[in-house]
């Protein structure tokens, strides 16, 4: 197949852009002039379908697609567990966290932390969240988008700049409402594009049996992984990358931070018209998060099989290029345009969400704090300016990020999150259940956890770059050798102990102050509902997937 773009492919991509811009323009028209609620929370009147689709599309950016498909080409299926575990964590978001967020009427997660603890905790989370957006979201999404453009002949930095301008245009003008409505459309385009890639790839290999036989033949070549390794979610505890203990106990900690306490994600549920729609939206997103195994990971495996057959060519050392290479060099006319539109949809939905969330934090948690009498119009204008500044900073981080990306995009994303998420997850989670935990314990736990996490991140960067020489057997060597998921678990336990210990020496807030931000000791009868049924079914589906992709399932 030709790697050039036909007039039909270009037409499909342009049609996609036309639809997105029209949707963004339509969504923006409904906003009240200068309303901060409309700009930052989409008017707080969204239904579950819009909320759930936006949660999924915001999360599934090009960096996720390229990372998970790259994992498929490298036979690293345990990476897909992050997607499956997210389905379970979304249940926590809908049932445990959302009621508190909506009850308090907050705009941001740092604002909620101030209500539960103190202003110092709010400031901490605001700063760390914005830092996290720069190093794990905006810069990474721009980087992945530039890789997509590279595969169709556009230079890397040109692609990065195009990515920013195309997405920032409607985000700055329309706010969250424009973001979540375009997200919904982009989720459909993304699913259509990736399903097309998977279906055509399997067809060319002769179906599932053809894929498996290709993997079996390839496994006979020295250095290639055995076929069953491609479809096994679980690795032994001694595995240096993804041990089952780290996946089962460490990955959920990253999930609680990302899905339940991060502005980037939670802002979508804050836009719901009520608690029921917010919960249903979270559950709907949970079901959608089961799809990446089939529409992102398996295409990566298909790309590996096509590579073994000599039908496409890419370097396994740079397996994140597997899916774009398959799209541009293998798909027929029409499907190629649809698949690239799907990648661009994922890219733009994630980037627009990151833009809007970061501008919300900067505006509500900083600008409004120092200028409390600001008009809604000035808040919106500051949010637009903040977005532009963050984009420039994120572009500057990309060269440093590439030095940390030895294990691929997705590994970089999850490892950085493992270093910053444990203290935040501990403070949010335990703060909801235990009234005696106080602001003093929270701020000490947050800062001590942050210092340890950043120390690991910085020393890892310096060791990878050869700036720091690490001698085997030393304490520093052991510190760097701890698997990043085990590190997240240990850091979470450490922060929880600090939180509890220091809180014992301080005074908790009064019951009146904690009424809306902690669980109350009230006995209430549980009534079975449609949401409960959907929750149980989602758990069952997760268990089935875990059983299917195990040594006794397809891998056997």
344-353, 429-438, 443-452: least confidently modelled range: 344-353
DSSP state of 408: -
What is the per-residue pLDDT for 522?
65
Beta bridge partners of 272: 46
pLDDT in tens, 482-538: 999 999 999 999 999 999 999 998 888 998 999 899 987 666 666 888 999 999 999
202-206, 208-212, 287-291, 375-379: least confidently modelled range: 375-379
Beta bridge partners of 46: 272
Assess whether pLDDT exceeds 70 at residue 553: no
- What Cα–Cα distance (Å) separates residue 53 from each residue in 22, 46, 145, 283, 288? 18, 11, 21, 11, 8
Nearest to 87 by CA among 530, 538, 485, 488: 538
Average pLDDT, the chain: 83
CATH 1.20.950.20 fits 7-419, yes or no: no
pLDDT in tens, 113-172: 999 999 999 999 988 888 777 777 777 777 777 777 776 677 767 777 777 777 776 666
Give yes or no for a contact between 452 and 459, defined as CB atoms under 8 angstroms apart. no
What is the per-residue pLDDT for 91?
96
Name the band, by pLDDT with cuts 50, 70 and 90, for residue 392: confident
Q: Scanning the structure block, which residue is given the tokens 């089962």?
A: 248
What is the per-residue pLDDT for 555?
45
What is the per-residue pLDDT for 1?
44
Assess whether pLDDT exceeds 80 at residue 402: no
Of residues 24 and 106, more confidently modeled: 106
pLDDT in tens, 96-105: 999 999 999 8
What is the per-residue pLDDT for 73?
92
Residues 47-73 have a mean pLDDT of: 83
187-191, 283-287, 308-312, 552-556: least confidently modelled range: 552-556
Which structure tokens are listed for 458? Answer: 């910085």
Domain ranges within the chain, ordered by starting residue: 7-419
What is the per-residue pLDDT for 174?
59
Residues contacting 154, CB < 8 A, separation 6+: 162
Assess whether pLDDT exceeds 50 at residue 60: yes
Backbone phi and psi for residue 303, each to the nearest 5 degrees, phi listed first: -60, -40
Rounded Cα gap, residues 48 and 66, in angstroms: 28
What is the per-residue pLDDT for 412?
65
> If DSSP codes are grouped into helix, strand and coil, which group holds residue 336?
helix
Question: Quick one: what percent of the chain has pLDDT higher than 90?
Answer: 33
270-274, 280-284, 426-430: least confidently modelled range: 270-274
Which structure tokens are listed for 146? Answer: 């530039």
DSSP state of 46: B
> If DSSP codes are grouped into helix, strand and coil, which group holds residue 272?
strand
């Amino acid at each position: 197949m030709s790697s050039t773009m036909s007039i039909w492919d270009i037409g499909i991509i342009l049609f996609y852009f036309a639809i997105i811009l029209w949707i963004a323009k339509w969504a923006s028209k409904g906003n009240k002039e200068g309303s901060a609620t409309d700009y930052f929370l989409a008017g707080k009147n969204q239904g579950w379908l819009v909320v759930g689709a936006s949660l999924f599309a915001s999360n599934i950016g090009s960096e996720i697609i390229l990372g998970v498909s790259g994992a498929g080409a490298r036979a690293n299926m345990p990476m897909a567990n992050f997607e499956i575990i997210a389905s379970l964590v979304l249940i926590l978001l809908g049932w445990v966290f959302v009621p508190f967020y909506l009850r308090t009427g907050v705009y941001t997660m740092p604002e909620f932390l101030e209500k539960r603890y103190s202003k110092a905790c709010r400031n901490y989370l605001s700063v760390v969240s914005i830092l996290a957006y720069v190093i794990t979201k905006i810069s990474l999404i721009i980087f992945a988008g530039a890789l997509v453009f590279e595969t169709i002949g556009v230079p890397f930095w040109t692609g990065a700049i195009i990515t920013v301008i195309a997405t920032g245009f409607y985000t700055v003008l329309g706010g969250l409402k424009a973001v979540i409505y375009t997200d919904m459309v982009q989720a459909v385009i993304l699913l259509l594009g990736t399903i097309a890639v998977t279906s055509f790839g399997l067809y060319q290999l002769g179906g599932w049996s053809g894929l498996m036989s290709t993997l079996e033949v390839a496994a006979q070549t020295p250095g290639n992984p055995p076929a069953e390794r491609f479809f096994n979610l679980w690795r032994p505890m001694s595995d240096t990358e993804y041990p089952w203990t780290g996946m089962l106990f460490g990955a959920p900690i990253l999930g609680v931070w990302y899905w339940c306490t991060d502005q980037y994600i939670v802002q979508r549920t804050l836009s719901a018209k009520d608690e029921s729609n917010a919960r249903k939206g979270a559950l709907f997103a949970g079901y959608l998060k089961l799809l990446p195994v089939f529409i992102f990971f398996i295409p990566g495996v298909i790309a590996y099989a096509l590579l073994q057959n000599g039908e496409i060519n890419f370097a396994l050392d740079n397996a994140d290029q597997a899916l774009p290479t398959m799209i541009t060099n293998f798909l027929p006319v029409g499907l190629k345009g649809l698949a690239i539109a799907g990648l661009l949809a994922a890219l733009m939905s994630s980037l627009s969400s990151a833009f809007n969330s970061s501008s919300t934090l900067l505006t509500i948690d900083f600008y409004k704090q120092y200028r409390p009498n600001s008009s809604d119009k000035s808040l919106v204008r500051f949010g637009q300016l903040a977005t532009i500044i963050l984009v420039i900073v994120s572009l500057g981080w990309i060269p440093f990020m590439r030095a940390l990306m030895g294990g691929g995009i997705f590994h970089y994303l999850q490892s950085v999150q493992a270093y910053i998420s444990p203290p935040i997850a501990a403070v949010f989670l335990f703060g909801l259940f235990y009234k005696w935990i106080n602001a003093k314990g929270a701020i000490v736990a947050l800062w001590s956890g942050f210092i340890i996490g950043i120390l690991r991140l910085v020393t890892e960067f310096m060791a990878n770059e050869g700036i720091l020489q690490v001698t085997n057997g030393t304490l520093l060597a052991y510190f760097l050798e701890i698997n990043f998921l085990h590190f997240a678990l240990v850091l979470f336990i450490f922060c929880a102990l600090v939180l509890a210990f220091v809180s014992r020496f301080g005074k908790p807030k009064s019951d009146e102050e904690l009424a809306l931000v902690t669980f109350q000791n009230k006995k209430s009868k549980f009534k079975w509902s449609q949401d409960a049924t959907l929750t149980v079914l989602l758990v069952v589906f997760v268990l089935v997937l875990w059983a299917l992709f195990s040594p006794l399932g397809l891998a056997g």
